């Protein structure tokens, strides 16, 4: 029952996104088929919500994500404003010149391509998670411990071998101890 505050504080997000996506959807219907308009409406609204909840971004990447989100919100505002205007005054569309339709088409297409490029560039190329300095040290220490302590049994005599000697033993069917009575070799040198 304690989580009701958390739920109540986040409940407006999908509702506001749904309301805003309707304007994007109705504006997109002027230019694209129904299913594309639905996808476009979902894409714009989930862009800024998705970028807002993306975790483990560096400060610079987080600032870029914020600016991309602002761009998606601005496109959504433009689409919602125009769709509401055309809903209330449909004669504007009926009497629009070719230049006006070109401008409306540009307002439709440019934000789509621009936001898609910026989001993909951010998430696929530059948004690598940054580990905190302490976490990176712990991971490195645990990795070093894990790799230095690992041994593998010889397939013939079950002698514990390091990874390189184990690979050779798997290839040959025996280790150097089996063949020569030597405990282990590295690059042909006895230990």
Q: Give the tens place of pLDDT for each residue, 53-104.
A: 887 788 888 888 889 888 888 888 999 999 999 999 989 988 999 999 999 9
For residue 75, with 0-12 CB atoms within 10 Å meaning exposed, 13-18 middle and 19 or more buried, which class applies? Answer: buried
Query: Which residue stretches of the chain have pLDDT < 50?
Result: 127, 131, 184-185, 190-191
At residue 89, the pLDDT reads 92
pLDDT value of residue 142: 57
Q: How many domains does the chain have?
A: 2
Determine which helix (DSSP H) or strand (DSSP E) holds 61, and give its type and residue range: helix 59-88
Task: Name which of 20, 67, 9 is nearest 44 in CA terms.
Answer: 20
Residues 31 and 16 in one domain: yes
pLDDT of residue 191: 47
Nearest C-alpha neighbor of 39 from the set 112, 114, 117, 119: 112
Domain boundary among 126, 152, 177: 126
Q: Out of 109, 126, 143, pick the residue that ends a domain.
A: 126
3-state secondary structure of 158: coil
Domain around 100: 7-126
Q: What is the pLDDT of residue 135?
A: 52
- In angstroms, the first-to-last Cα distance of the chain is 65
* Per-residue model confidence (pLDDT) at position 33: 92
**Residue corresponding to tokens 């033993």:** 169
Whole-prediction pTM value?
0.59
Residues 84 and 148 in one domain: no
| 33 & 96 share domain | yes
Residue 115 · residue 72 · CB < 8 Å: yes
Structure confidence at residue 187 (pLDDT): 52
């Amino acid at each position: 029952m304690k989580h009701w505050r958390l739920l109540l504080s986040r409940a407006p997000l999908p509702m506001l996104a749904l309301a805003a996506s309707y304007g994007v959807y109705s504006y997109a219907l002027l230019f694209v088929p129904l299913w594309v308009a639905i996808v476009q409406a979902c894409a714009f609204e989930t862009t800024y919500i998705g970028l807002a909840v993306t975790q483990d971004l560096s400060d610079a990447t987080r600032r870029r994500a914020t600016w991309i989100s602002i761009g998606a919100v601005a496109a959504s505002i433009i689409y919602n404003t125009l769709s509401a205007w055309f809903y209330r005054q449909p004669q504007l569309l009926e009497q629009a010149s070719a230049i006006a339709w070109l401008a409306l088409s540009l307002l439709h297409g440019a934000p789509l391509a621009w936001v898609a490029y910026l989001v993909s560039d951010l998430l696929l190329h530059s948004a690598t998670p940054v580990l905190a300095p302490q976490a990176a040290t712990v991971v490195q220490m645990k990795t070093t411990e894990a790799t230095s302590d690992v041994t593998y049994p010889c397939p013939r005599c079950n002698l514990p071998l390091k990874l390189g000697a184990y690979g050779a033993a798997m290839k040959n069917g025996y280790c150097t101890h089996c063949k020569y009575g030597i405990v282990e070799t590295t690059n042909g040198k006895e230990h």
